[in-house]
Amino acid sequence: MKSDSSPLDLASTDFCTLDYPCAYLPGRQTRMLYRYIRHATPAFVSAVVERGWRRFGNYFFHPICAGCNECRNLRIDTEAFTPTRSQRRVERKNAETRTLIQAPSLTPAHVELYNRYHSWKAAKDGWKHHDITEREYYENFVEGAHRFGYEVLYFRDDRLVGVDLIDIVRDGISAIYFFHDPDYAPYSLGTYSLLQQIALARRLGLRYIYLGYWVDGCKAFAYKTRFQPEEILDGFPPLDQSPRWKPFVAPESSEKGNA
């Protein structure tokens, strides 16, 4: 695409990891391609997000696993989306949840909440966990946001209960990462955060919510298929090729479960 020629001119450092155990498919190996860009532009971020790349800090990445194409990207069509009855219940439960959108920030409350959430997920779902430091949090979630990155803070009972990191790109919102207070799990804040992203995208006139990877059969990604209609992208096309998103119908097993 000719319009993507300028992002290609950015100074960058590319490297890939060695193979390591896949977190999504037992018994598989994965390898990641990384591109480090200190001064990424909104045009570049829009181009790579549309092609399935993800961002943490100044690092942009996607898998390059030999013989495997199970990591595919999903995006929600916000123009056609209609909430389910379960999702409307989540909205009602969060009638008193307050939100604040701002540039990504670093406070002790952010780090404490992040570590509490991951400790809870380690006990509940077997996630690997080590407490993140303030420096690690800054490098992953604050640094590299520039003019496109934001955080949506969620508050209940005068306390921070959720943090949603997003990038706003030319045709949508890229959902980077969300974590919440385990004590407020009954409020389904993960679902609520995506409903809030959809509402924000509509206010801004943006069509898509880019959800990142989906792997069929992986429990951790099942929630991503509950926001129909959606589109799916196979592979990670280079910047000089147009991405081909196709309509996606969730497998029946993925549509079930709690919101």
Local structure of 31: helix, strand or coil: coil
Q: Calculate mean pLDDT across residues 123-132.
A: 87
Alpha-carbon distance of 11 to 39, in angstroms, equals 8
At residue 182, φ and ψ (nearest 5 deg) are -60, -25
Q: Which of 136, 19, 110, 35 is nearest to 68 (CA)?
A: 19
Per-position b or e across 61-72, b if 16+ CB within 10 A of its CB? bbbebeeeebbb
Amino acid at site 132: I
Cβ neighbours, 10 Å, residue 86: 13
- Whether the pTM exceeds 0.85: the reply is yes
Which pair of structure tokens corresponds to residue 237? 């096309």
Q: Residue 186's pLDDT is what?
A: 97
pLDDT tens, residue by residue, 70-81: 999 999 999 999
Cβ neighbours, 10 Å, residue 172: 24
Judge whether 250 and 226 are in contact, CB under 8 Å: yes
77 vs 234 pLDDT, higher one: 77
Give yes or no for residue 59 having a pLDDT over 80: yes
Q: Residue 249's pLDDT is what?
A: 87
At residue 113, φ and ψ (nearest 5 deg) are -65, -45
Percent of the chain with pLDDT over 90: 81
Cβ neighbours, 10 Å, residue 258: 9
What architecture is the 73-255 domain classified under in CATH? 3-Layer(aba) Sandwich (3.40)
Give yes or no for residue 148 having a pLDDT over 80: yes
Domain ranges of the chain: 73-255
